[in-house]
Chains A and B, each alone.
Chain A
Amino acid sequence: NAGVTQTPKFRVLKTGQSMTLLCAQDMNHEYMYWYRQDPGMGLRLIHYSVGEGTTAKGEVPDGYNVSRLKKQNFLLGLESAAPSQTSVYFCASSGPTGIPYEQYFGPGTRLTVT
Chain B
Amino acid sequence: SQQGEEDPQALSIQEGENATMNCSYKTSINNLQWYRQNSGRGLVHLILIRSNEREKHSGRLRVTLDTSKKSSSLLITASRAADTASYFCATADMDSSYKLIFGSGTRLLVRP
Residues of A within 8 A of B (CB): 4, 31, 33, 35, 40-45, 48, 50, 58-59, 90, 92, 94, 100-108
In the assembled complex, the Cα of A103 lies from the Cα of B30 at a distance in Å of: 15
Q: State in angstroms the CA–CA spacing of A48 and B102 once bound together.
A: 15
Give the bracket for the number of chain B residues in contact with chain A.
20 to 34
Binding site for A on B (CB under 8 A): 1-2, 4, 30-31, 33, 40-45, 48, 50, 88, 92, 97-105
Knowing A42-B104, A43-B102 are in contact, say whether A105-B43 is a contact too (CB < 8 A): yes
Report how far A41 CA is from B99 CA in the complex, Å: 18
Extra A-B contacts (11), CB below 8 Å, given A41-B104, A107-B41:
A42-B102, A42-B103, A43-B88, A45-B99, A58-B99, A59-B1, A90-B42, A100-B30, A101-B98, A103-B45, A108-B42
